Amino acid sequence: MSKIVFIGTVASSFYGFRADLIRTLVERGHHVYAFTSEYSIEGLRKIEQLGAIPITYTLNRGGLNPLADIIATYKLSKKIKEISPNIVFSYFSKPVIFGTLAAKLAKVPCITGMLEGLGYTFTEQPEGLSRKTQLIKKIQVFLYKVALPQLDQLIFLNPDDPKDLLQQHAIKVKKVEVLGGIGLNLKDYPFQALDNIHSPIKFLFIGRLLKEKGIHEFVQAAKLVKKIYTDVQFTVLGAIDHHNLGALKQSELDLLIESKIIHYPGYVNNVKDWIADSHVFVLPSYREGVPRSTQEAMAIGRAIITTDVPGCRETIVDGENGFLVPKWNPEALAEKMIYFIEHPEQICIMGNESHKIAIEKFDAEKVNQKLLKILGI
């Protein structure tokens, strides 16, 4: 039996994306501690229901105050030391940086980090990165250079991220692993076949309303398609992330809703029902770790259109379960949308292929076994 500390940020990430892993560890007799810096009483209760012990700590997810971060790291190290864990496993950028340093201060025997994506500062923009973003990226790379060599191992989801972070910036890490997606419980996203395709064809976008998620390209492609096929439906699900530098502004969202090109139910809790009611899932993102929303759509059995960028390309066998399109290119996106409108039989064929790939690559049970092997548990 081991004591295992997970360091994340929002409480929902534990019961939303780590539930199966935590349950497996608890069933094996391990003591699991979930460190969360953004939480509600209900969120902490849900963590407890998984069998983990929630621990709250302070971390400014969007801030750049060095003194505050140093103080928070010291306080975090004291909390870790009180537990005296065998393993500290941090995920997300700031917890990987400051959680690693805190674990090192606490003299934890095994320290592992996982970067599920490189985030906004490593995401190319059509107009280039702003000066502010470039500065933040330099600070982030500096902090990575300080923290990452302290890790016993660092896990990425796709093979592009270690090249773009470690190789490009000459950061040495003892051991690097590529997991290939955090996976999902396929029982929660059961396959729902599309036997007969009826008009209107429904395209679905799910994601935080960030520029780099490709929301603008989705809307522009929708406008192009509606010039030819007026009855086609385009639905957008997701909320604005006010902590993110690339977040869509409320005024921009209001204009999109007023355009009536898209249907916007907002943030919903029954995502799988919306996926099941759609025909094609679309994510024109600029960069991902490995997008969970696409994995969910694949598990349910939907054809995919996504961009040929890090992370997204891990979900597509081009021409088999959907299409890869160039980033920042609404015309290419519209072209593939029109292909599905004019060849509806391919929606079923490619959707079935998506389901097969999801079983092979994104089954949480398989992914968690691989992760436990990496962690040496």
Q: Give per-residue pLDDT as tens, 271-322.
A: 999 999 999 999 999 999 999 999 999 999 999 999 999 999 999 999 999 9
Q: Apex CA 354: angle with CA 159 and CA 362, to 5°?
A: 50
Q: What is the mean pLDDT of residues 147-168?
A: 98
Are residues 124 and 69 located together in one domain of the fold? yes
Are residues 165 and 198 located together in one domain of the fold? no
SS3 state of residue 330: helix
156-160, 228-232, 255-259, 353-357: least confident range? 255-259
Other Cβ atoms closer than 10 A to 219: 19
pLDDT of residue 255: 82
Does residue 1 surpass a pLDDT of 80? Answer: no
Q: What is the mean pLDDT of residues 27-37?
A: 97
Going by pLDDT thresholds of 50, 70 and 90, the confidence category of residue 63 is: low
Going by pLDDT thresholds of 50, 70 and 90, the confidence category of residue 242 is: confident
Are residues 150 and 237 located together in one domain of the fold? no
Residues 149, 172 contacting (CB under 8 angstroms): yes
Strand partners, 281: 204, 304
Other Cβ atoms closer than 10 A to 193: 11
Going by pLDDT thresholds of 50, 70 and 90, the confidence category of residue 231 is: very high
Does residue 166 surpass a pLDDT of 70? Answer: yes
Does residue 246 surpass a pLDDT of 70? Answer: no
Are residues 28 and 64 located together in one domain of the fold? yes
Question: Which of 152, 262, 160 has its CA nearest to residue 206?
Answer: 262
Going by pLDDT thresholds of 50, 70 and 90, the confidence category of residue 347 is: very high
Number of domains in the chain: 2
pLDDT of residue 94: 93
pLDDT (tens digit per residue) in 67-91: 889 999 999 999 999 999 999 999 9
Are residues 313 and 190 located together in one domain of the fold? yes
User: Comparing 199 with 177, which gets the higher pLDDT?
Assistant: 177
Are residues 93 and 235 located together in one domain of the fold? no
Are residues 233 and 176 located together in one domain of the fold? no
Are residues 204 and 124 located together in one domain of the fold? no
Residues 214, 243 contacting (CB under 8 angstroms): no
**Ordered DSSP codes for 248-307:** PPHHHHHHHHHHTSSEEEES-S-HHHHHHT-SEEEE--S--SS-HHHHHHHHHT-EEEEE
**Ordered DSSP codes for 134-161:** HHHHHHHHHHHHHHGGG-SEEEESSSHH
Are residues 33 and 159 located together in one domain of the fold? yes
Alpha carbons 156 and 162: distance in angstroms, whole number: 7
Does residue 256 surpass a pLDDT of 90? Answer: no
* β-strand pairing of 153-156 with 202-206: unpaired
Q: What is the mean pLDDT of residues 212-222?
A: 93
SS3 state of residue 176: strand
Are residues 8 and 115 located together in one domain of the fold? yes
Q: What is the mean pLDDT of residues 188-192?
A: 97
Does residue 60 surpass a pLDDT of 80? Answer: no
pLDDT of residue 62: 64
CATH number at residue 116: 3.40.50.2000
SS3 state of residue 199: coil
Alpha carbons 300 and 187: distance in angstroms, whole number: 10
Alpha carbons 98 and 24: distance in angstroms, whole number: 27
Question: Which of 356, 358, 339 has its CA nearest to residue 290?
Answer: 358
Going by pLDDT thresholds of 50, 70 and 90, the confidence category of residue 128 is: very high
Are residues 118 and 201 located together in one domain of the fold? no
* β-strand pairing of 280-283 with 263-266: unpaired
pLDDT of residue 162: 98
Are residues 127 and 63 located together in one domain of the fold? yes
pLDDT of residue 65: 80
Q: What is the mean pLDDT of residues 1-11?
A: 95
Q: Residue 248 class from Cβ within 10 Å (0-12 exposed, 13-18 middle, 19+ buried)?
A: buried
Alpha carbons 200 and 202: distance in angstroms, whole number: 6
Alpha carbons 265 and 297: distance in angstroms, whole number: 18
Residue keyed to tokens 């004291």: 78
Does residue 163 surpass a pLDDT of 80? Answer: yes
CA distance between the termini of the chain: 9
The radius of gyration of the chain from alpha carbons, rounded to an integer in Å, stands at 21
pLDDT of residue 251: 85
Does residue 208 surpass a pLDDT of 80? Answer: yes
Alpha carbons 138 and 120: distance in angstroms, whole number: 13
Q: What percent of the chain has pLDDT over 90?
A: 85
pLDDT of residue 81: 98
Residue 40 domain boundaries: 3-183+364-375
pLDDT of residue 217: 94
Helix or strand run (H / E) with residue 34: strand 31-36
Does residue 14 surpass a pLDDT of 90? Answer: yes
